[in-house]
Homo-oligomer: A and B are copies of this chain.
Amino acid sequence: MTRTAEIVAIGSELLTPERTDTNSLWLTAKLNEAGVEVMLKTVVGDDEARLEETIRDALKRSDIVITTGGLGPTEDDITRQVSARAVGRELIYHDELEARLRERFRCWGHEMPEINKRQAFIIDGAEILPNPNGSAVGMMLGLGGSLLVVLPGPPRENQPMYDNFVAAKVRQLAGEVIVKRRVLRVSGLGESAVDEVIAPVYRQYESVQTSILFNKSEIEVHLTARADSAAAADAVLDELAKQIAEVLGMAVFAMNGETLEEVVGTILLENEKTLAVAESCTGGLIGMRLTDVAGSSAYFLEGAITYSNEAKMRALNVPEQTLIDHGAVSSQTAEAMAAGVRKRSGADYGISVTGIAGPDGGTGEKPVGTVFIGYADAAETRSVKFTLPGDRYMVRWRSSQAALDYLRRRMLKDASIKQ
């Protein structure tokens, strides 16, 4: 049986527009590694009633409840008394904690302010979790089958505390479960289309949790396997991932969470091929994505951001007549751009984008979102047209995705490329 956890982040500052709880990400990774699933996260401020209800409800629903924050010495720091109330226990004053606090302050060359005395109160029966990096100790309390863990807010205080005192207890509760994850990435298909195609496959694997996520312009298939050993978890993931890749075919571009620019880069690198890019409406986004990959200078030669017609003619040798006859947003211009940048740079492959990102510039014949992708290699020059939904940001992002994916698909058809 999978153990479940909830994480409660405490502090009014975490309810402002500027801050968010990030402790829970680190804790989630630790809990997941131990085979524990995080079912719910809460952020609550200095509101005693809401905090008490949150902790009480969480303990009813989940095996492990971890709180972070609210253990400081001020009146706003209500975690100590409220968590005691939520579990129906007294706070007990600990002389030796106060003595240790006074000693800490003396070492820093200060007298301990009287308000810090609050930090010497501990829930009756709780284990005290020492804090070498701050004045607030943590608490851990077993309650029947469940576990309440109360940690301070700062990561450099709560992370060593978890590693040193909580991790072993969590492992003991969770037992010997191994959890492994894998992410496949898919382009050119929608969320529901992917689900329709792969559901018959993943439904046969009950030990793997499959979820399908939409991420800007691509679909992610997340697989999470639980098994008794790492080898068994990997084996079932390998098998399911392979079957999913088979039914989806070329649409799967990454078997291990790689980005599209990484995948394109790897194909180029392994085949010692080079690339140049000509961008109009994406304005540098494709170059930016390609060069985001460390080591991309091995295959990315250059990019031309040709926003004006004049730049398209001068920098890429797009014939003026092509622009007059077909317009800047046309398959003919896209092809001339791809061939032009390839020739100019001496690269093996040239790709190009020209389109209408909006919000203005659309026409009846070529509405906002009309995008042409051009491709050129030694043997041929081609193009493809898309009509992409969304605002300016999304049209540009999806154009960059379409261009990189078109390049990937064309390269995989090129006889000189190893599969």
Q: What is the interface of chain A, defined by CB distance below 8 A to chain B?
A: 12-18, 20-22, 24-26, 28-29, 32, 37-45, 47, 49-50, 53-54, 57, 61, 72-74, 76, 108-110, 113, 115-116, 133, 154, 156, 190-193, 195-196, 211-214, 222, 277, 279, 281-292, 294-297, 300-308, 310-311, 314-315, 344-346, 358-360, 387, 389-394, 396
Contacts and interface: CB of A to CB of B under 8 A. Distances in A.
Given A300-B307, A306-B302, A314-B344, A292 B393 contact: yes
A213 to B, nearest CB: 5
B277 A305 contact: yes
Contact of A42 (B42, B310, B393): B42
A26 B32 contact: no
Nearest to A46: B211
A352 to B, nearest CB: 13
A297 B311 CA distance: 12
B20 A25 contact: yes
28 contacts: A15-B41, A17-B26, A18-B211, A20-B25, A39-B45, A40-B47, A40-B54, A42-B42, A49-B61, A57-B57, A74-B195, A108-B387, A115-B192, A154-B214, A156-B390, A283-B288, A283-B290, A283-B291, A284-B291, A291-B305, A292-B392, A294-B358, A294-B359, A300-B307, A302-B305, A302-B306, A304-B304, A305-B305
A390 B104 CA distance: 12
B191 A72 contact: yes
Given A53-B57, A156-B390, A39 B28 contact: no
**Copies of this chain held together in the complex:** 2
B288 A285 contact: yes
A312 to B, nearest CB: 9
Contacts of A53: 57, 61
A112 to B, nearest CB: 9
Contacts of A109: 387
Contacts of A389: 108, 133
Contacts of A22: 20
Contacts of A12: 211
Contact of A288 (B190, B284, B346, B391): B284
A292 B222 contact: no
Given A113-B193, A115-B195, A222 B42 contact: no
Nearest to A189: B110
B291 A302 contact: no
B212 A156 contact: no
A213 B76 CA distance: 10
A104 B231 CA distance: 46
Contacts of A302: 304-308, 311, 315
A287 B300 contact: no
Contacts of A47: 39-40
Contacts of A307: 291, 296-297, 300-303
Contact of A196 (B113, B156, B296): B113
B15 A38 contact: yes
A370 to B, nearest CB: 13
A295 B307 CA distance: 11
A135 to B, nearest CB: 9
B76 A211 contact: yes
A40 B41 contact: no
A288 B358 CA distance: 15
A185 to B, nearest CB: 13
A394 B156 contact: yes
Quick one: which of A37, A190, A359, A393 has the most chain B CB within 10 A?
A: A190
B294 A392 contact: yes
Contacts of A295: 360
Contacts of A42: 40-43
A360 B193 CA distance: 41
